Amino acid sequence: MRRTFAGIAGTAAFALVLTACGGDSDDTDTETPDGENLSAELTWWDTSDATNEAPAFKELISQFNEEYPDVTINYQSVPFAEAQNKFKTAASSGSGAPDILRAEVAWVPEFASLGYLYALDGTSVLEEGNFLETPMSSNVFDGQTYGVPQVTDTLGLMYNKELFEKAGLDPEAPPTTWDEVREAAKALKSKAKVDGIYLNAAGYFMLPFIYGEGGDLVDVEAQTITVNSPEAAAGVSIAQDMVADGTAAKPNASDSYGTMMTLFKEGKVGMIINGPWEVANISDDPNFGGFENLGIGAVPAGSAGAGAPVGGHNYVVWSGMDESKADAALAFVQFMSSAESQAFIADELGLLPGNADSYDLVTDNAKVSAWKSALDVAKARPWIPEGGLFFAPLDEMAVQVMVQKVDPQKALDKVAKTFKSEVVPDFATQ
Pairing state of beta strands 100-104 and 140-141? unpaired
User: Residue 37: pLDDT band by 50, 70, 90 thresholds?
Assistant: confident
Q: Is residue 133 part of a domain?
A: yes
DSSP label of 249: E
Q: Is residue 79 part of a domain?
A: yes
CB 182: neighbour CB atoms within 10 A? 20
With contact defined as beta carbons under 8 Å apart, do 341 and 361 qualify? no
CB 232: neighbour CB atoms within 10 A? 26
Q: In angstroms, rounded to a whole number, what is the distance separating the alpha carbons of residues 298 and 378?
A: 9
Residues 6+ apart with CB under 8 A from 396: 415
Quick one: angle between helices 230-244 and 178-187, nearest 10?
0
Do 142 and 214 fall within a single domain? no
Q: Is residue 385 part of a domain?
A: no
Do 229 and 147 fall within a single domain? no
Q: Which amino acid is at 380?
A: A
Answer whether residue 26 shows pLDDT above 80: no
How high is the pLDDT of residue 350?
A: 87
Do 123 and 7 fall within a single domain? yes
- For 172-218, the DSSP string reads TS---BHHHHHHHHHHIIIII-SEEEE---SHHHHHHHHHHTT--SE
Q: In angstroms, rounded to a whole number, what is the distance separating the alpha carbons of residues 118 and 17?
A: 10
Q: Beginning with the edge strand found earlier in the chain, give each strand of the sheet holding 40-46 in spatial order.
A: 71-77, 40-46, 100-104, 311-317, 147-153, 352-353
User: Residue 229: pLDDT band by 50, 70, 90 thresholds?
Assistant: very high
Q: Is residue 384 part of a domain?
A: no
Do 49 and 108 fall within a single domain? yes
How high is the pLDDT of residue 430?
A: 85
Cα separations in angstroms, 279 against 40, 283, 349, 351: 37, 6, 9, 9
Mean pLDDT across 171-195: 98
Q: Is residue 303 part of a domain?
A: yes
Do 244 and 162 fall within a single domain? yes
Do 75 and 118 fall within a single domain? yes
With contact defined as beta carbons under 8 Å apart, do 372 and 301 qualify? no
Q: Which amino acid is at 288?
A: F
User: Residue 34: pLDDT band by 50, 70, 90 thresholds?
Assistant: low
Q: In angstroms, rounded to a whole number, what is the distance separating the alpha carbons of residues 55 and 46?
A: 11
User: Residue 328: pLDDT band by 50, 70, 90 thresholds?
Assistant: very high
Query: What CATH number corresponds to the domain at position 272?
Result: 3.40.190.10
Q: Domain ends where: 340, 359, 379?
A: 379
Q: Is residue 363 part of a domain?
A: yes
Give the number of domains in the chain: 2
Q: In angstroms, rounded to a whole number, what is the distance separating the alpha carbons of residues 392 and 152?
A: 22
Pairing state of beta strands 100-104 and 308-309? unpaired
Answer whether residue 14 shows pLDDT above 90: no
Quick one: angle between helices 54-67 and 339-349, nearest 10?
150
Query: Whats the size of the chain, residue-wise?
Result: 430
The closest alpha carbon to 382, from 145, 168, 217, belongs to 217
With contact defined as beta carbons under 8 Å apart, do 177 and 267 qualify? no
Q: What percent of the chain has pLDDT over 70?
A: 92
Do 206 and 336 fall within a single domain? no
pLDDT, one tens digit per residue, over 67-112 is: 999 999 999 999 999 999 999 999 999 999 999 999 999 999 999 9
Do 69 and 177 fall within a single domain? no
Q: Which residues of 293-329 are buried (b: 16+ CB within 10 A; e: fewer)?
A: bbbbbbbbbbeeebbbbbbbbbbbbbbbbeeebbbbb
Do 65 and 84 fall within a single domain? yes
Pinpoint the alpha helices (H) of 188-318: 203-212, 230-244, 256-265, 279-284
Answer whether residue 9 shows pLDDT above 90: no
Do 273 and 243 fall within a single domain? yes
Q: Which amino acid is at 92?
A: S
Do 273 and 318 fall within a single domain? no
Residue 37 falls in which region: left (phi positive, over 0), alpha (psi -120 to 50) or beta: alpha
Q: Give me the chain's average pLDDT, please.
A: 91
Give the residue numbers spanning the domain of 301.
156-307+390-429
Q: Is residue 25 part of a domain?
A: no
The answer to whether the Cα torsion of 174, 179, 181, 187 is positive or negative is: negative
pLDDT, one tens digit per residue, over 113-165 is: 999 999 999 999 998 889 999 999 999 999 999 999 999 999 999 999 999 99
Q: Is residue 26 part of a domain?
A: no
Do 272 and 402 fall within a single domain? yes
CA dihedral 74, 78, 84, 88 (to 10 degrees): -40
